[in-house]
A and B are shown apart, each in its own frame.
Chain A
Amino acid sequence: MNPPETAAATSTQVAEAPAVPNHYLNHSKGFLSWALTLDHKRIGLMYLVGVLGCFALGGIFALLVRTELWAPGDTIAGMFASPGSSPQEVYNMWFTVHGAVMVFLVIIPGVPAALGNFVLPIMLGAKDVAFPRLNLGSFYLWVIGALFFVYTLFNGGVDGGWTFYTPYSASQATNVIPALLGVFILGFSSIFTGMNFVVTIHKLRPPGMTWFRMPLFLWGSYATALIQVLATPVLGITLLLLIMEKTLHVGIFSPEYGGDPVLYQHFFWFYSHPAVYIMILPAMGIVSELISVHSHKRPFGYQFIAYSSIAIAVFGFLVWGHHMFTSTQSPAMNAIFSAITFSVSIPSAIKVFNWLATMWGGSIRLTVPMLYGLAFIFLFSIGGLTGLYLGTLSTDIHFHDTYFVVAHFHYVMMGSALIGMFGGVHHWWPKMVGRHYNGTLARISWALIFVGFNVTFFTQFLLGSQGMPRRYYDYLPRYEIYHKISTVGSYMMAAGFLIMAFYLLQSIFGGRKSPANPWGANTLEWHCTSPPPHDNFATAPAIEDCYDYSGIDYDAKIGGYTSRANP
């Protein structure tokens, strides 16, 4: 086929097409067309809006916490204290809300429910998820769960930390029950999404899409979905038991009624440790895509990466006791949990080495998503390596429940899971809304977030090794300088996220139109238009090797890439 003919063919198509191409965003109009939609892309987008809104809410509480910690003694919490409460109680509510919102409303649903919903079916070559109604139900459960949290906020707040350890949580008069019901409902939202993904990946793969042809993001999402389905019910049961104890005084966790507080910790972490992998595995999946696509090179050691996702999911169920080395757990259990914990570090290390090897010899474009991918590898390396200090029995005794742990899990939860999520948002944004964001602003924002993050949280490793306990409203003056630096870092991050909010919103209204394939990727979603049509694919797509970049060529005229095999 010679070029003039191609051009002619394209222009005829354009002439026949309606003035505005039909896609999932303009397919139908009106509030109900969104509120009752069964389209995975719309549900994903609504989730994304909700998750980012909650991220802003959780972020405001984080800034309040950091501002209060600017100096020892009361800084700003006193200004928010009502006549019946003290500044300490206000501060304790802030960090509880920050933790609970970020974990249950942002990070857990962030990648699977928001990005996963949008991307997973298209990447797989399916028209939708297996159970679209269940998918919409999951979103509504998320909304209801979020409303329970908002209710507690306007009704005096909630105390106890996001872990709600007994017997303190059971003894509290504050809104522990509405908050726990909120978490319980969010748990079902998460189970619905997980079930949907497991069934979708098993049953809706088109002919030719074998397990080992699946993009790595799907492997990450699959491993995550398994944990969501298997671990979340334990959290639900635990919360119900806690509510029963609190209302009916059945002795389960409180010694007052003959219960055992350490039992609660076992139950809680039996879910919440695997939940850490619910947060990190899909982000690792995103990064596997980002590094390969923006290096235009096949992922190095595809099978090792895929298997390591499953290995992490399996081992992740067996390490919960490492949160409890100082809890009066027996020495033998401490030893066993420490040993298994180290086994999780191996698949994580493999992934890092594989990503680096993927970059080696590639054709790297330092696009905004790629910058997030690089930031992820750097931050995850720190987050992962500092986990070694906490898995080691002797050193954990010193670091447990100090800022060292706070820093470690922020490197993993925010520096890795959320940075991975934002990498995904920047990667798929042109696909989702059909427009590009401002690249210069995005780079400035990225730099502020990356530097600000390290200033905030690296300092907290030093704070923790010096012995600063977590969840302290007031502290010994010897820790002051570290707290000041950390607070400055948090403001840098806040500035970065404000810029991000600005350019993402601005791109919707004034952004440059995105071609179908702006990055030169070869997974299926980039073979659809941007934004994708309502039903993803008119006919079942031909499944090729999604990491073969040899047939993808750059076209400067459209500012994107075209595929020779599949124009």
Chain B
Amino acid sequence: MRSEARREDGPRAPVWLRVLAYGGLLFLHFPILMVGLYAFNTEESAFSFPLKGLTLRWFQAAAAREDVLGAIKLSLQVALAATGVALVLGTLLAGALYRRRFFGKEALNLMVILPIALPGIITGIALLSAFRLAEVTPNFWTIAVGHATFCVVMVYNNVVARLRRMPHSLLEASADLGADGFQTFRHVALPQMATSLLAGGILAFALSFDELIVTTFTAGHEKTLPIWLLDQLGRPRDVPVTNVVALWVMLITAVPILVAWRLTQGTEDVAGSSR
């Protein structure tokens, strides 16, 4: 906030910079606007522009499709399971790593980040080959296990950032006043972590809900929403329903992301800066 005043007094951005900055934003949102627009398209099997006409009937059609609803349900269930695991593992890791220094700490840090730092295809094929070795047929749980693995980092990042900002004296004060480790966790640490847990959980949920690449390896015959969409791209006859579902997916993810952003506001967490 110290810098706020300075910038308000500071010079306005040169025109060319403003053009480039807002141009960049336009570029980022243009395809999203297109998705919104085409969901109302009357045309059934092409993408001609300008649109021939607008209609709401595809929304009804999509809502009546068993396969769409099944895919949404599966994706929600997977995301819930993965988020649950990520919350537990991420919090444990954050608690162990946020303050103490010990041998191998750097390696642990790397291990948590690796599943999102390495291309999804590596995580995907590694899991698949391991599942085959263990003779596990891909199912709901193989998807959830894969997702949980790369969701941990979302929770971990948020919680660790929060814990590092929390004055350590709060925990000491609690112990000083007679609270043992469990009581301190329940009455001080947990309330302090609450928003970061929620934000991390939401990001983990959103990440799992949209994940495609790892899922294509671990899903077997199960169809999560992104896989359903991928399959749809090979079905030109079904374009209108695809358009509507694409819009839904956008909206389903946008809301939690905005909530997570609100939660981390003023705490300087860069939500998702290392997705």
Does B bind A? no
